Amino acid sequence: MRFLIIFIFFISNVFANEIPNIKNIVINKQPKTYDNITFLDSKEKLIKLADYNGHLVMLNFWAIWCAPCKKEIPSLDILKGNANFDNLEIFPINVGKDNVKNSKFFFNDLKIKNLDIYFDDNNNLARDLSLRGIPTTVLFNKEGKEFARIIGYIDFNSNEFLKWLSGYN
């Protein structure tokens, strides 16, 4: 009986760590590889995902007209400032054809302090990653492969998400 209880405890912990109870997260059984993922910063400098190999990377796609994005971005800003995730690179990428000035006003209005603004010129990246809506967050492992994505709003500072993410950090 004692062995059975220990076995059940072990198995439940293994599955709990692999599959979080986060309803809108999709975990890839096999990480996906993409070639030449690029986007622009607010000064139109080209950013290459390949330059961040060795880091956990989140690409968060948003627009200023998106109400769930407005709710989500402050929690993303807090996550960026979390010292427990110093190997995490977060890129909030505007896909709404909004100019830099409007995007900065949007971030200022939300009191965003830790995040910079990035842009998907002509929505090419959103198309290449087969996004179906926003907000969507695509997560890349330290080898630069997509291992998960979050479709829709999430509180990036919920205990459940932070616990799950720490397994990849």
Q: Could you tell me whether strands 88-94 and 56-62 are parallel, antiparallel, or unpaired per DSSP bridges? A: parallel
pLDDT-derived band at 12 (thresholds 50, 70, 90) equals very low
Cis before residue 135, ω within 30 degrees of 0?
A: yes
pLDDT of res. 63: 95
pLDDT of res. 121: 77
User: Per-domain residue ranges for the chain?
Assistant: 23-166
CATH of region 23-166 = 3.40.30.10
Mean pLDDT within 51-77: 97
b/e per residue 52-73 (b: at least 16 CB within 10 A): beebbbbbbbbbbebeebbebb
- Predicted confidence (pLDDT) per residue in 79-128, tens digit: 999 999 999 999 999 997 788 899 999 999 999 999 999 999 788 999 99
pTM above 0.95, yes or no: no
